[in-house]
Amino acid sequence: MAASECTKVRLWRWRRNPLKRRSDVVEAWVVLCAWLLAVLGGVFAGLWAADAVVGSAERVRAETREVTAVLVRDAEEPGPARVTADHLVWAPVRWTDPDGRTRTDEARVPPKAKAGGKVHVWTDRQGRVVNEPLSGAETTLHAVSGGLLAGGGATGLVLGAGWVVRLVMERRRLEEWAAEWERLDTPWGWKTG
């Protein structure tokens, strides 16, 4: 026995049909608007997030500067439990600001570096040691990743909201059908279901 073939009618909610209800038209508009808002919202959210990441990286780059510092004491070898991914250790360093003030702080330096050795550190406007700003490639990677995450999140949020609206509409439609069946069954005094 061959399986019955049922042709799928595309865009049936948009065509003239005597069986089409108002709720079908509203649902079609909800779906259309949800998809349009999802695409546009995703694109704009992604572009906004990428621009925010680039702007933040440029601001950090403008507010920091690289200085040459001198190690105050020998950097110790990290124990096996304290090994980090970049194999750097904390050690005190001293440098002179452009305004002539001498500053001292802790910075990440190579292990076993000797006192008096020179290292490059990044400082902010207040003279605190900070992380090195993102490079151009890192900024691009962060901007693309942030844009994709923000765009995907916005798209998912809009499509999820559209799905919830459709569920509410479906529940209401089923309640209306149940009320109509109840109304049809009662005039003759017997139940069809």
Answer for the pair 70, 105: CB distance below 8 angstroms, yes or no. no
pLDDT in tens, 116-170: 888 888 888 888 888 889 999 999 999 999 999 999 999 999 999 999 999 999 9
Q: Where are the alpha helices (DSSP H) in 87-135?
A: none
Distance CA 167, CA 26 (A): 13
Identity of residue 127: G
pLDDT in tens, 35-90: 999 999 999 999 999 999 999 999 999 999 888 888 888 777 766 555 555 678 88
Half-sphere exposure at residue 12, Cβ-oriented, CA atoms within 13 angstroms: 10
